[in-house]
Structure 1
Amino acid sequence: MRIVRSGLLGISMAALVACASDPGPAPRPVAAAPVQPMGKPDLLVVISVDQLSSDLFEAYAPHMSGGLARLAQGTAFLNGFQAQAATETCPGHSTILTGSHPARTGIVANDWYDPDAARENKEIYCAEDATLSDGNPYTVSAEHLLVPTLGERMKADDPRSRNVAVAGKDRSAVMMAGRDVDQRWYWGGEDFVTDTGAAPSATVAKINEATRALVARGIPALELPAHCADWDRAYTVGTRGTVVGTGRLEIAPGDASNFRRHPAYDGAALALAAGLIGEMQLGRGEAPDILSIGLAATDYVGHAYGNRGAEMCLQMAGLDRSLGDFLTRLDDSDLDYAVVLTADHGVLDVPPRLRAMGQEDASYVNMPEEFVARLEALKAQFEVERPVAYGGASGDQYLDPATYSTHGEAFRAAVMDLYRAHPQVAHVYTVEQIMAQPIPGGDPARWSMLQRVRASTHPDRSGDFYVMLKDQVMPIVNPGGTYTATHGSAHDYDRRVPILFWRKGMTSIARPDSAMTVDIMPTLAAMIGLDVDANAIDGKCLGGVPGADC
């Protein structure tokens, strides 16, 4: 191993980083624990791996031997779903611990357009306080989340419960923990920072110091495990000459940006989470505690390189080992803890690699000159400066409000017809069509496309119409650099995510039936005996999960 293990706050961040830097076999074999009676856990640990689709998890599962392998030996729903069409970081995280779809949480996207915002910049970031900032820079806040999280419900039921979050992204930490938090830390670019006003504790200060030193020192290119060799093939993406598929995830000394695209990024977050467990004595009070952890490196690696190259193979190996080290530390603490691992969304791999694998329809979205020219013609015809105030190639489209007062529905109809004529567009829905649908229930795998969009749509925040691209069309107009693959569609490669429940003594059960991320909160609530009004959420307690009395 390239990095020497050394003690740090009861858990070694250096050890976690060493695991991420050496994707060999995990130090402990995974063994099935004997079945034991299940009481109420003292600590709930909820982990979201950003961009971990079920497709990705299943592709690498045979090579896992650390934390991911252990968690898969609990109750594993591989047909889990972020059921809604808005498969982005913020909406996805908003479903995990609220039990509600974005239509109820109000988190319809990472960003949306609010013409009534009391500032010049009308674009609203999901995790900002729009009353305190103009959007650049923004002030982090949970004000836009319209429903309580499990941690908030726990504290309302018993103020002795602690609600703590650690994440690589601010929006992940905010959406999983909500408003009433004891501590919340997320990566701010150079350090882990908080929006709570709290000064860094000894744990946070030491993790920050160690992380800064790690970035300053850098990490050499990782060695590729044998099982990654089949994915070690180069593909050129876009017109800028970006090559993906053969990278080794090194961090040049001082390169804080590339730190996000490395397994060490997750190692630092897990080290901070473990340090706070010890420092705050989580799980040792008179009421259950909850710790939310958002791991973001998989998302940054996926966006930069796609999810089937050597880079992602290295990331998955590092994540598996880092999670194993984290769980081993929890074992050593002798805490009675329960873990859930899931994801906020999946991703579509880079089209050149998909086409090489036989998926001939895979492509980037194209906005040809003819399409742009017709938009310009509509601008002239309707005498408006901008035909679309905020939107893009797909998803919610927001029209300039002044246009309605001048031209009524004619302008929207003309723009929608233009999108419908685009050869890569599958569906265009008005907000009225969407809202006429009830919030869907039942098996999310069977939902229509319109139902998926309905689960994402909030009447006060969603657009005037919605554009859905065809299957296998990537909504990136100019791919390249560190943005070669993305998500956000209503298709199952973006919706389908693993949902893994693990607790010591669980029997391994692979569940083929569908589940939703909105089902996680009521299942955990049942595990700790917390009553939740079923009419106030969209999810349900998942029967058959040991310890959850549904």
Structure 2
Amino acid sequence: MTRTTTLRLLALALTALVSAPRSEAAQHGRPRLVVTMMVDQMTWDYLYRYQARFVEGGFKRLLSRGFNCENTRINYIPAYTAIGHSSVHTGSVPAIHGIAGNDFFKDGKPIYCTQDTLVASVGVPNGKSGQMSPRNLLTTTIADELRIATNFRSKTIGVAIKDRASILPAGHTTNGAYWLDDASGHFITSTYYRTDLPDWVKKFNARDRVKELLSQGWKPLYDLKTYRESTADKNDYEQPWGKKGEIPATLPLDTKKLMKTEGLGVIRTTPFGNTLTFEMAKAAIEGEHLGEGEETDFLAMSHSATDYVGHRYGTFAVETEDTYLRLDRDLADFLSYLDKKVGEGEYLFILTADHAAAHNLTFDKDHKIPGEALRSDIARQIIDSVVNKTLGANARVIRAYFNYQVFFNDARIDSLGINRSALQHTICQALKAKLPGVAYAIPADEVVSAPIPEAIKTRIINGYRKGRSGDIFVIPDPGWYSKGSAETPRGTTHGVWSPYDTHIPLIFMGKGIRQGHLYRETNITDIAATLAALLKTQYPSGCIGHPITEAFAPQD
């Protein structure tokens, strides 16, 4: 071969190399993998309250190397799990995406947010735990839009212990959504997605990790005396275990013994539930080869154990602190895994929450903080009394009272020719006059003109979906939250408009993101809009959010 021929061949090879098409992800500056990590019931201040004991590679890494939106708020009510997961990934609100609560009414009947009787369980014998799908979600998610933008070449997967936390973020077009079945301790799906579990899920389930993790027992990471961000472990704020409360809500907790009496679902209320979720997420990345293809892939990962722990133990419990310290360690391990598997700087990671949480009511009282129980049982008595007095005992015009809302029986009201507006006003007046802790009771169709603060008005409007939401919204005084009886309040809950329920963490880290902090108000609906801008996709079909452009790294 002559020198001239060699040079020609080399030139042709170089030309082919230069002209070869880059991957779609590279052409558009997209990351190889997007991971959303939703921590159920994580209040914004946990990032700082527990920071002294965080390891370097977990939350501290996100805080130091990511872009931290310090003032992210939920812009609707009620602040519940299903709505939060939907709103983060759709950039929308219940008024548009239709997920009006964990439970709501649809076609005049009560329904669970992801309930779908048209599908069957996959991975366990058919039953309610697997009859789930995203059909009740009326809009696309950012994962859907990524699939559409790549002509469905991108892979998207949802993973969580809670069904709704896996299904709603992953959206309608996902390659798979997987959640935990308590009876078997295995991850399952439904025929909405596929007719058989993929081999990697079967392999993961075969390990029986739920039993393995619970067999360890929940022991505190440190000496209990050193948990200075929490109350003493033994107190009246937490819900004991056992049918009669005979097992103290203290550490260490014999989860192996508890598993035998209360079932494998116990893992939900331990930090092991978060560990299990991270392990399942890694299995999904390996099994589906996420981040390895030509297109950007998407993993929607939700950590639900924090919510169960919070509900049982509250916001100032040793158990809550220990759960977050363990979550931090698991997060550090997971980020290190992503560095090696996908490549540091090649993935985009988002930390946020679906809602936050109030403090335990007895805790508040002991520390002279305003707030008491808004008694839902008394609310219903007041409502029924008004109806019985004005319409008679057999009127049956009220379907329910939940989600801080009064639900009318529309068909019954229409058939009786009842003046709806008059009935609404009479009930509202009675609730405000007779139910302690009610700041406002407002007919849903009169919110626009109601003399209430704009921040509350906006949240009601955004949270109201006709046919799925109630006809009257009840707004508690700050510090008050719904409780169904006079029993001593244990643990905590969430749902109202106040900052303790609606101020959530939001950190972006990775490809396309600069380091920094932002203190202006951002909304939960801005997350999907920001991702759409970064991924060069269309916004989800109901998105009302705006990109947080301050987070974007300078373009080359």
Q: TM-score, normalised by structure 1?
A: 0.82
Match of 2:8 in 1: none
Match of 1:200 among 197, 200, 203: 197
Q: Secondary structure at the match of 1:390?
A: strand
Matched-pair contact (CA < 8 Å) for 1:203–1:272: no
Match of 2:90 among 85, 88, 98: 98
Query: What is the 5 A alignment of 1:211-250?
Result: 211-214=209-212, 217-225=215-223, 227-233=226-232, 234-237=234-237, 246-250=250-254
Q: 1:522 and 1:362, CA in 2 relative to 1: closer, same or farther beyond 3 A?
A: same
Match of 1:167 among 157, 160, 166: 160
Higher-Rg structure is 2
Query: What is the 5 A alignment of 1:304-383?
Result: 304-335=312-343, 336-359=346-369, 361-366=370-375, 372=381, 375-376=384-385, 378-379=387-388, 381-383=390-392
Deviations 1:504-536 (A, max 9, x none): 696531221221121111211222222438x95
In structure 1, give the amino acid aligned to 2:439: A
Match of 1:396 among 405, 408, 413: 405
Cα distance in 1 for partners of 2:117, 2:351 equals: 31
Deviations 1:59-83 (A, max 9, x none): 2233322422211221011211122
Q: CA deviation at 1:144?
A: 1.0
In structure 1, give the amino acid aligned to 2:256: A
Match of 2:419 in 1: 408
In structure 2, give the amino acid aligned to 1:280: E
Q: CA deviation at 1:162?
A: 0.8
Q: CA deviation at 1:106?
A: 0.8
Cα distance in 2 for partners of 1:238, 1:349 equals: 11
Structure 1 gap segments, 5+ residues each = 1-37, 438-445
Match of 1:123 in 2: 110
Matched-pair contact (CA < 8 Å) for 1:248–1:314: no
Q: How many residues align?
A: 496
Q: CA deviation at 1:248?
A: 4.0
Query: What is the 5 A alignment of 1:480-499?
Result: 484-499=491-506
In structure 2, give the amino acid aligned to 1:205: K
Matched, 1:501 2:508: yes
Q: 1:52 and 1:368, CA in 2 relative to 1: closer, same or farther beyond 3 A?
A: closer
Matched-pair contact (CA < 8 Å) for 2:73–2:522: yes
Match of 1:67 among 58, 62, 66: 58
Matched, 1:519 2:526: yes
In structure 1, give the amino acid aligned to 2:323: Q
Match of 2:442 in 1: 429
Q: Secondary structure at the match of 1:192?
A: strand
Cα distance in 2 for partners of 1:377, 1:72 equals: 53
Q: 1:435 and 1:205, CA in 2 relative to 1: closer, same or farther beyond 3 A?
A: farther
Q: CA deviation at 1:547?
A: 4.2
In structure 2, give the amino acid aligned to 1:281: H
Matched, 1:150 2:149: no
Q: Secondary structure at the match of 1:40?
A: coil
Q: 1:368 and 1:506, CA in 2 relative to 1: closer, same or farther beyond 3 A?
A: closer
Of 320-329 and 122-131, the range deviating more from structure 2: 122-131
Cα distance in 1 for partners of 2:487, 2:181 equals: 24
Deviations 1:439-484 (A, max 9, x none): xxxxxxx952111111111123211111111110121223879963
Deviations 1:338-368 (A, max 9, x none): 1001000011011111223331x22222368
Q: 1:249 and 1:57, CA in 2 relative to 1: closer, same or farther beyond 3 A?
A: farther
Q: Secondary structure at the match of 1:286?
A: coil
Cα distance in 2 for partners of 1:202, 1:452 equals: 44
Deviations 1:96-130 (A, max 9, x none): 1111122111111111123x35xxxx211111125
Alpha-carbon RMSD across the aligned residues, in angstroms, is 3.0
Structure 2 gap segments, 5+ residues each = 1-27, 121-126
**Greater share of residues in helix:** 2
Q: CA deviation at 1:188?
A: 1.7
Q: 1:481 and 1:266, CA in 2 relative to 1: closer, same or farther beyond 3 A?
A: farther
Query: What is the 5 A alignment of 1:47-58?
Result: 47-58=37-48
Cα distance in 2 for partners of 1:199, 1:474 equals: 43
Cα distance in 1 for partners of 2:154, 2:239 equals: 53
Match of 1:546 in 2: 552
Match of 1:298 in 2: 306
Matched, 1:177 2:189: no
